[in-house]
Every structure is written in structure tokens, then in C-alpha cells.
Amino acid sequence: MLMAGAPLPDTRAILPRPAASDDRSWPALTGQKAIDRFKIYCSYMAIQGEAPDQGRPNHSCSGGRTVVPSSDYLKSLVDIEAGRISPEIFIDEDIYRLELDRVFGRNWLFLAHDSMIPKPGDFFSTYMGGDPVVVARQPDGSVRAFLNACRHRGMRVCRAESGNTKSFFCTYHGWAYDTAGNLINVPNLSDAYKDRLSLKDNGLIPVARIESYKGLIFGNFDATAPSLEEHLGDLKYYIDGWVDQVDGGIEVLPGVVRWTINANWKLAAEQFAGDTYHAPTSHASSLLSFGPPFEGKDGAHVAFREGHGESFLFKRHTRFSEDPLSLYNDAKLEAAKARVGDRAEFVANFTAFPAFSGLPGSSNIRVWHPKGPNKFEIWSFTVVDKNAPPEAKKAMQVSASFTEGPAGVVETDDGENWGLIGAILEQGHQARKMRWNYQMGDYPATGHEEFPGAYRDSFFGEAGHRAFYRRWLEFMTSEEWPVLTQEERDAFNKPGA
């Protein structure tokens, strides 16, 4: 990992000089040769059990040990006050490894919805960061989750995406676990272990915390983290405006759509945190089919001190057909407004820090699963009103696929944008020295008497982006969960601040 603008290492300082009898010259190496020699050095030092030169904390050694980026270095890459961010945070391997520990290893991550595992024994396989986990409904109705890795050799104990079971079985050596993660059977226990193996001490590694909000189930590996509701903060108000519009709430339809993008997961998460500025350009052709063009005054964007972001249009665009979805939305509108007010008409997008996003107006929620510094998977779920008629649910599913599926008229634009950015960063050098501009909407929050959070009265802005990276930096530079005080939240949300 090279700091933007930092000189390449002079390998004469880190490799032994030739013996005096060796008449070869010892020139300074630069460019790729310097990097290659430094990697060889790092591999050698790793074999010797020694750390690379501590005077070079910002160089990554392929094949050697991962170098933990320092807090000062990370802060030099992310300048929230100036609205400038280095693209190194989207491509650097060491930063990515630290993210897995400090961001994904101790944050609230979306696992499933209640409707996906309604009965005891129902399970769903997913990821928390890079780790595979299984979420399972217990006989008492509670939910547990655990690493999908056998305690014997780390093999998956569940190789199905979802289903119903009484136990999970490792197909490598045959260890079996119940749906609570307890080890219940070991083949040849008496002969192989002479009855000295403790079943109790070899259960699956549990996800420390499982909590839900309005049927949305989240997990956290950090037992000391604040509650899910505290983490969601004022974003709950906007989630309520989506899920509480009708009796019965929402449900997730069967089937998860997954696809891969060769880019960094944060590019997608930040976009859903409030980047509506891209829509008139990136989605110009598709938006023409949905209604007249929108302007900044047609909506607003809201940032949250917890790192979340949301933007929304105040009202749905004019429709041009009597399709089942439009008819259903028209029929429920007045009742929905009586329950949640103006939120019933919002066309919104949001990100709950770090990697859970939604497009309620498109019947879609999704998770950004990191697969490397320059690769992530999108897991997309179709969300419908639970008590909607079947034809309306089908129309919601078709609409979600048409716009936000992997071949959707909107989604393909986003995937192309993210992928091309990823290619530039992966292959380029000068491009990684840039400082990207995050200054849009960098004016005091205007506030709103009804809508909480740091509210700004324009559909266009990057306040949610800055809130996202402010929180990201706090996690990346903290040894423990960076606790927020109510005073910090109030100061962040205060109009004029």
C-alpha cells in the first residue's frame, strides 16, 4: 500500500548490500523493480518470523504479512471537513482487511427478514463481511446465527441457500450440529477421542448479537455494541414510513438475486445513501419512461450521525398505465397517509451503515457483500406488502426485476459505472493519487419540523456520503465501538449546523 504521492522505496535500504568482493554495482531501483524487490524482501522477512521494516508502515507485502494502516494514514485519506477522499480507500488490500475486522466485524449487518424463516428449523445462508453464516429459527421462535464453519476443520456445515432442517452436517468428517449450533454428534467419538472430546465446548461459533426491527433481522459479532435501534437512530422514522403503510407490514418474496461487480462495495453503499445527482445523467433514457424530469426542489436528502443516509422525492411521478401495481398503490394511498403521513408518497433510497440499502419505491432491499478490495456481490430481495393481493405482489416483483435486477434498465447503468471505476483504480497509478470531491450539499442543514436527521431541502447532495465516511473513519481508527453521545447527534442534526 503506497500513500498517494509517496516515493517508491529505495531497496538499497532494505536488502543486504553485495559483499565487498562482488564488483557488481548497487544502483537504486525505482518503479516496478523496486516494488517487486520489496515484495521479495517482505516474503523473506515473513519466513524469518520478523515484521517488515517498521519505518515503512504504509507498504503492503504480497505474500507477506498484512500491514495495518495507521490511524494517521487513514485520516490523511479521508478529509470530511474539506469534502475530499482518496480513492486508495476503495482499492487498497490492507485497508480492506482492516474493514473486515473493524467495520464488518463489529457492526449491525442485515441477515434476513422474518418472512424468510417463519417456521422452526427454517434457515437462510448468508455472509457477514467475508464470513459465511447461517441464520436459523429456533423451536421457541427466537433466531440464532453462527459461522457456517465446522469446529473441526472449518468446512461448511450448511451448503444449501435456504430450507428447513433439524440439524447441520459437515460433509468432511461428519460432525453434526443442531439448529442452535450445538455439537450433537461426532462419528466414532469413543474410538477417535477416547471420550475426551467435549461436545459442549465445540459448538459452532455464534453471532454474538441478534436483534430485529420491524421484521428486519440483523446480526453483530461485537457483544459490546449498542442496540440495533440505537444504531439505526432517526433512520427508524423513515423505515417506519415504508413498512407501516398497511396492516401486516412487509414480507420478502422467495428467491434472492445475486450478481458480482468488480468494484469496491462502498461505491454502491454511498450511492444509496443519497446520490440522486447521478440519476438524470446515468439513467436519462430509463427515467424518460417513468415521468417528467425531476429537480432538486422536488425532494430532499437526510444525513444521520450514525453513518446512514437517505434521499427522496416527495411524490411519485405521474403514471401512464392502469397496471396492477399502480392501481394497488392508488387504492392504498389514503389509508397509508393516515398511518404514516407524507412518507406514504416518498420515492426513497437509503443506506443503513455499513452495507444494507433499500429502494422502497422499487420494492427492493439489498446487501453489499464485500469479496475483496475490488469486488463485491449484490444480494437483492423483493419486498412487498404482506397483505397485498397476489396480482399486486406479482407486479411488484416484475417492477423490481425490470428496474433493479441485474439486467434492469436502471441497474445496468449503475453496474457499468461502478465496474469502470474499479477498473481504473485496479489498473491505474496516477488515478489513485486523486482526491475525489464530496462537497455537494456542504451547507448547513435546513431542518424540517416533521422529518428528523440532518435534513437538507434539495434532492441533490452528498451530506449522506460525508456522514457515511465520517462513521467509516471512526470505526477504522478505533479499537472499540466508537460510541456516539446524544449531544453529538443533536449537534449534527441542528439546523444551521
Catalytic residue among 59, 113, 231, 283: 283
Q: Are 117 and 125 in contact (CB under 8 A)?
A: no
In sequence order, the 6+-apart residues with CB closer than 8 A to the CB of 176 are 167, 168, 169, 170, 183, 184, 185, 186
Whether residue 278 lies in the annotated active site: yes
Coil/strand/helix, residue 304: coil
The 8-class DSSP code of residue 306 comes to T
Active-site position among 36, 72, 278, 330: 278
Q: Is 152 noted as a catalytic residue in this protein?
A: no
CA geometry: angle 39, 45, 50, nearest 5 deg: 135
CA atoms within 13 A on the CB side of 191: 2
| Active-site residue, 10 included | no
How far is the C-alpha of 114 from the C-alpha of 254, rounded, in Å?
12
Residue 68 contacts by C-beta under 8 Å, 6 or more apart in sequence? 94, 98
- DSSP for 54-79 reads TT-TT---TTSPPPPPPHHHHHHHEE
Gap between the Cα atoms of 230 and 218, Å rounded: 13
Contacts of 479 (CB under 8 A, 6+ apart): none
Distance CA 101, CA 476 (A): 9
What is the residue whose three cell numbers read 451448503? 159
Residue 266 to residue 421: CA distance in whole angstroms: 12
| CA distance linking residue 286 with residue 280, whole number of Å | 9
Integer CA distances (angstroms), 38 to 18, 35, 53, 145, 358, in order: 17, 5, 10, 42, 44
Catalytic residue among 173, 247, 342, 490: 173
Residue in 92, 308, 414, 465 annotated catalytic: 414
Q: Coil, strand or helix: which one is 115?
A: helix
| Residue among 275, 369, 385, 465 flagged as catalytic | 275
Helix H or strand E encompassing 193: helix 189-193
CB within 8 Å of 111: residues ≥ 6 apart:
124, 126, 128, 133, 135, 145, 210, 217, 218, 219
Please identify every residue annotated as catalytic: 173, 275, 278, 283, 414
